Amino acid sequence: MTASAEKSTMNRREFIALTAVATGELAAFGMSGWAQNKLELDPDSVTNTDYVTDVLVVGGGMAGLFAAVKAHDAGASTLIVSKGRLGSSGLTPFAKGFFTYDPAVESMSIDEFTNAISRSALGTNNPVYTRQLAEHSLARAKELREWGFFDQTLANRPFMVPIQERGIPLIERVVITHLIKENGKIAGAAGFRLDAEETITIVAKTIILCTGAGAFKPNGFPVCDLTHDGTVMAYQIGAKVTGKEWNDGHTTRSVNPAACYDNWGDMFNRIPSTNGVEVHHDLGVDLNYRAYVTGNPVSGGPGGGPVTEEVAGGPFVPEEFQRDFGPPSGGPPGEGDAPGGRPDRGGGPPPGEGGAPGGPPGGGMAGSTMGGASAGMAIHKAEGLVPVDDRCASNIPGLYAAGDALGSYMSGGIYTQIGSSLAGSAVQGAIAGEAAAEYAAQSKVPAIPDTRLKEIINDILAPLRREEGYGPAWVTQTLQGIMIPNFVLYIKRAAMLKAALAFVEELRDHHAPMLRAANMHELRLVFETRNMILSAEMKLRASLMRTESRCSHYRLDYPDLDEENWRAWINIFKGDDGSMQLEKQSFDSWPLQ
Amino acid sequence: MTIKSINGCIGCEECVKSCPCDVIRMDPDSKKAVIAFPADCQICHLCRMYCPVDAIEMSPEKSIPVITSWG
């Protein structure tokens, strides 16, 4: 029986019974809404440990690895903290293509490469960061090769080589929740451990956010631990943030859509490899557009399957970068950091990354191809802190970001160079590490008043002390229901964006402050949920402001490029009254400080 | 059930550390890994891949309702 036949034969009583079962299941998994907090620990017995360092690296992926190594090698005392395990959290474990620009091999000069990226990105890239990627990628690949990165499938092993050689302190499974600014400069950070009833406070001269980007814990792509933590913490202390209107385009399958491994198995199992210049304009959102116009409003969603006819309109692809993906390959691409491309072309997306043509089938997954697997994530290197220079510095002295936590626009508002995501994180991590070490060498150890630290620790523990409140998992699912539908996040128009914004403001004002946590795991979910809510607000406001369509941002009510008004990025910052403010910054310029 | 079962655990904690979403914890009494928060499993199989004794069995099904862009 097909799904639609099932639906049509279901009577009202059966529907109610099913709903009751679903609700019961939610409660069983701790997904109740407002409820009593069944506390599993005593918040008053939570201890605190403090640390002091020159450079604090937050995040243990590719960017964090190089940030720590280079900061240490430049003479700074360096500490890495990670929400997960080094090399086994965020997107690093799954990205296997590493772009290198080798002048001995490439026929394109670096100038020509940078220009090709700019043409594909329709001007949205920052050519300074694009060029930097090409100039430094080969050196980073060489170091990774020495550590054994290109000989394995489990990145923790090679990542630990330089960390252990240098004796760089590493604290894993720590959730950083607050950045601390004193006298206008970075002074430290605070958070808590997952495995102990313990908060931690860190006095740091500089901080490098290598926290990755984020999404809405979507189904079908391994980004459920990425919740814009760095971006939102930095926004809260006055950093400028950018890139929120763009959309990553990875896909999943309609049967067991949450099964990341089953859909992307080859990518998980593959040994990393390098690849040369290969500039694309892989949208992903063109599949979402096709889904919207061929089925959505009428029949509740398209069935996918082979494409028999073209649809009119939709996202613009420059003629130079239009591709024919050929016969169906039967599964998602084989690499980690290429968007799904145009899997509508017969159920098989374009070839994978890393110079390995012909995306192999997934692990036998069934069902039609479906967009939105990475819902909530923008284009790699496009969203995050606004850089004020070419060394990954933010507008807050002492605060740096690298990789997917930096809105460097290395690639632009579209994923352009294959394999650039992983390589870009390595390149920027190294640059930020050296820049932060230099800054630290000229700075004194900051002082953070005890009263301020106590206030922050109280804020961290507040969800544990709440006698009743909203469950973070329930609020997250409510947010997903608002933000993930194709007609909100991908195919945008003003009325729908404003409607979603009203819902998100409600979550921000009346749910985020009343989240409860029974244990340290739920405490993590509380902060992740809050960060996703603020990122949702940013995405909706930036999408409303950008009254044109360009790259991965598509407005149904403004379907064309607007070269007169929109050769500009959107920066987001917290206004003096606490409200979210947005401003334009012209392409090819740095923000005013 | 996402991560489905752990049988034959030797208590090395590799899976606990390698899970990006903090799904697995050590049982303080048995000193073996247990599935503590299955709703948060993203079905990435890193726990299974890091396990040195192939103790972990996976399923492609999520244990909670799944929200997608369409369908």
- The dihedrals phi and psi of A5, each to the nearest 5 degrees, come to -65, -40
Cβ distance B62 to A22 less than 8 Å, yes or no, reads no
**Which 3 state secondary structure label does DSSP give A72?**
helix
A87 lies in a domain? Answer: yes
**Is A592 within a domain?**
no
- Note whether residue A102 is domain-resident: yes
Estimate to the nearest angstrom the gap between the alpha carbon of A168 and the chain centroid: 26
Say what the ipTM of the complex is.
Answer: 0.97
Using CA atoms, how far apart are residues B71 and B64, in angstroms rounded to an integer? 17
Distances (CA, A) of A511 to A218, A470, A508: 20, 7, 6
Angle at A258 between CA A253 and CA A264, to 5 degrees: 65
> Does residue A437 lie in a domain region?
yes
- B39 to chain A: which residues are within 8 Å by CB? 29-31, 473
Q: What is the DSSP string of A257-312?
A: TT-HHHHHHHHHHPPPEEE---EEEE-SHHHHHHHHHHTHHHHSS-------S--S
| Closest CB to B60 among A262, A296, A370 | A262
Verify whether the Cβ–Cβ distance A521 to B68 is below 8 Å. no
**Cα–Cα distance measured from residue B61 to residue B41, given in angstroms and rounded to the nearest whole number:** 10
Tokens at residue A197, please? 């009833």
User: Which parts of chain A have pLDDT scores under 70?
Assistant: 1-30, 295-309, 324-366, 593
Please, what sign has the CA dihedral across residues A563, A564, A566, A569? positive
Across the interface, of A29, A89, A257, the residue whose CB is closest to B68 is A257
pLDDT of residue A139: 98
| DSSP state letter for A515 | B
Q: Which of A340, A287, A240 is nearest to A575 (CA)?
A: A240
Q: Which H/E stretch holds residue A252?
A: strand A252-253
CA atoms within 13 Å, Cβ hemisphere of A182: 17
Backbone angles phi, psi at A183, to 5 degrees: 55, 40
Largest separation between any pair of C-alpha atoms in chain A: 72
Cα–Cα distance measured from residue A186 to residue A182, given in angstroms and rounded to the nearest whole number? 6
Residue A28 confidence (pLDDT): 53
Strand partners for A176: A191
Q: How far is the C-alpha of A487 from the C-alpha of A554, rounded, in Å?
A: 11
Closest CA to A83 of A169, A155, A175, A168: A175
Residue tagged 């495995």 (tokens): A195
Average pLDDT, chain B: 94
Phi-psi group of A421: left, alpha or beta (phi > 0 → left; psi -120 to 50 → alpha; rest → beta): alpha
Residue A559 gets which letter from DSSP? -
Q: Write phi, then psi, for A202 (nearest 5 degrees).
A: -130, 120
Q: Which CATH architecture has domain B3-58?
A: 2-Layer Sandwich (3.30)
**Ordered strands of the A580-586 beta sheet:** A384-385, A241-242, A568-574, A580-586
A194 closest CB neighbour out of B22, B58, B68: B22
Regarding beta strands B3-6 and A47-58, do their DSSP bridges make them parallel or antiparallel, or are they unpaired? unpaired
**What is the rounded CA–CA span in Å between residue A119 and residue A319?**
10
- Give Rg (Cα) of chain B: 12
Cβ contact A172:A85 at 8 Å: yes
Using left for φ > 0, alpha for ψ between -120 and 50, and beta otherwise, residue A358 falls in left
The sign of the dihedral angle between the CA atoms of A459, A460, A466, A468 is positive
The domain locations on chain B are 3-58
- Please choose, from the candidates A526, A496, A500, the residue with its C-alpha nearest in 3D space to the C-alpha of residue A513: A526
Beta-sheet pairing, A170-172 with A279-282: unpaired
A568 Cβ partners below 8 Å, 6+ apart?
Answer: A584, A585, A586, A587
| Whole-number Å distance between alpha carbons of A177 and A67 | 20
Q: Within 13 Å, how many C-alpha atoms sit on residue B23's CB side?
A: 31
The 3-class SS string of A308-337 reads CCCCCCCCCCCHHHCCCCCCCCCCCCCCCC
Give residue A354's pLDDT.
30
Q: Do A337 and A421 form a contact (C-beta atoms < 8 A)?
A: yes
Tell me what pLDDT residue A173 has.
98
B69 min Cα distance to partner chain A (Å): 4
Contact between B68 and A296 using a beta-carbon 8 Å cutoff: no
Contacts of A489 in chain B (CB under 8 A): 69
Report the SS3 class of residue B66. coil
Contact residues, chain A, for B20 at CB < 8 Å: 84, 88-90, 93, 222, 224-225
- Cβ atoms of A478 and A485 closer than 8 Å: no
Instruction: Supply the Cα-derived Rg of chain A in whole angstroms.
Output: 23
CATH code of the domain containing A437? 3.50.50.60
DSSP state of A153: S
Question: If you count residue pairs, one on A and one on B, with CB atoms under 8 Å apart, how many are there?
Answer: 139
Decide if B69 contacts A370 (C-beta within 8 A). yes
Which residue is closest to B23 within chain A, CA to CA?
Answer: A521
Q: Read off the pTM.
A: 0.91
B52 touches chain A (CB under 8 A): no
Instruction: Out of A22, A156, A219, name the one closest to residue B68 (CB).
Output: A219
Place of tokens 């790699």: A380
List A57's β-bridge partners, or say none: A80, A208
Question: Could A25 and B64 be called an inter-chain contact, meaning their C-beta atoms sit closer than 8 Å?
Answer: yes
For residues A356 and A101, what is the distance between their CA atoms, to the nearest angstrom? 17
| pLDDT value of residue A588 | 83
Residue B24 Cα, gap to closest chain A Cα (Å): 11
Is B28 at the interface with chain A, CB within 8 A? no
Q: Which residues of B touch A252 (CB under 8 A)?
A: 68
pLDDT at A241: 98
Structure tokens at A460: 């961290």
Q: Mind spelling out the 3-state secondary structure of A155-168?
A: CHHHHHHHHHHHCC
Structure tokens at A48: 């605190």
* Closest CA relative to residue A276, chosen from A401, A112, A108, A411: A108
CB A407 within 8 A of CB A441: no
Nearest CA in chain B to A376: B69
B68–chain A Cβ distance below 8 A for any pair = yes
- Which of the four pLDDT bands, split at 50, 70 and 90, describes residue B16? very high
Q: What's the full length of chain A, in residues?
A: 593
- The amino acid sitting at A169 is P
Quick check: A98 and A423 in contact, CB under 8 A?
Answer: yes
- Decide if A80 contacts A256 (C-beta within 8 A): no
Per the structure, how many domains does chain A have? 1
Which residues form the domain of A51?
47-248+377-441
Assess whether pLDDT exceeds 60 at residue B1: no
Q: How far is B4 from chain A (nearest CA, A)?
A: 13
Dihedral sign computed on CA atoms, order A210, A215, A218, A220: negative
A199 lies in some domain = yes
Which of B37, B40, B46 has its CB closest to that of A88?
A: B46
Q: Nearest CA to A122 among A324, A323, A316, A337?
A: A316
Q: Nearest CB to A256: which of B21, B61, B65?
A: B61
Residue B63 has pLDDT above 80, yes or no: yes
Pairing of strands A198-209, A47-58: parallel
Decide if A565 is inside a domain. no
Å between A587 CA and nearest CA of chain B: 31
